[in-house]
Amino acid sequence: MIRTERLLLRLPVPQDDLTEFVRDGQVQQWIGGGVDDTPQTVLERWLGRWERNGIGQFVVDLGGELIGRVGFIVWDARTWETSTYELAGAHAETELGWAILSRHWGRGYATEAARAVLRWGREQAHGRIVSLIEPRNVRSVRVADKLGAVPEQLVQTEHGPTLVWVHTQ
C-alpha cells in the first residue's frame, strides 16, 4: 500500500468491483478498453500482471471508493505489445499508466497517484520507466509533463500511434 495526501493506492483484490471503471467510455477510449472487457476480465488482467512481473496496477482508493488505477504494465519494445519481463528480456519497457474515472477528472488525483507510484517503482521496475500516451489525450500529456517526463518517440501499438514519454526525474 502507498498513501498520499488524499489517496490510498493498494493492490487489487478479487472483491474489487470494476464495473464503473470498465463502463466509463471517456476513460476506456484512452486506455484501449475492449468491447469484450468485463469487470472480471480486467481485474484478472491486473492481478495477473502482479503475479508475472512483481509489479502491476494499483487500485486508486478515495475514502473507500475505487476511482481508478495507476501502476505498471510491461511492454516488449520490439512489437509494442504487452509482455512480461521474462519474455521481453532486454527489450522490456516498463510503462507507468494512470486512469481515473471521468467524474473525478480535474482534481489532480492522477498526478498525485502517479507521482507516488513512480517513486515506489524506481526501486521495483527493471530499467527505465516510460508512459505510453495517445497524442490527443491532452489530460494524460499534462500529467506526464507535471511528472517531468519528456516525449521521446512515436510508436505504433495495437491501439494506434502512441507517444513514448520517458520519466527522467
d(CA 59, CA 71): 9
Confidence of residue 30 (pLDDT cuts 50, 70, 90): confident
Whether 6 and 109 have beta carbons less than 8 Å apart is answered as yes
pLDDT for the residue 159: 82
pLDDT for the residue 27: 84
Is the pLDDT at 35 greater than 70, yes or no? no
pLDDT for the residue 168: 87
Q: What is the pLDDT of residues 106-136, one digit of tens each?
A: 999 999 999 999 999 988 877 899 999 999 9
Taking residues 10-29, what's their average pLDDT? 89
Question: Taking all residues of the chain, what is their mean pLDDT, rounded to a whole number?
Answer: 92
The alpha carbon torsion through 116, 117, 120, 123 (nearest 10 deg) reads -140
Q: What is the pLDDT of residues 63-107, one digit of tens each?
A: 999 999 999 999 999 999 999 999 999 999 999 999 999 999 999
Express as a percent the part of the chain with pLDDT over 70. 98
Return the residue matching grid coordinates 524506481: 122
pLDDT for the residue 142: 96
pLDDT for the residue 33: 66
Q: CB-hemisphere CA count at 13 Å for 63?
A: 1
d(CA 25, CA 169): 32
Confidence of residue 158 (pLDDT cuts 50, 70, 90): confident
d(CA 41, CA 62): 23
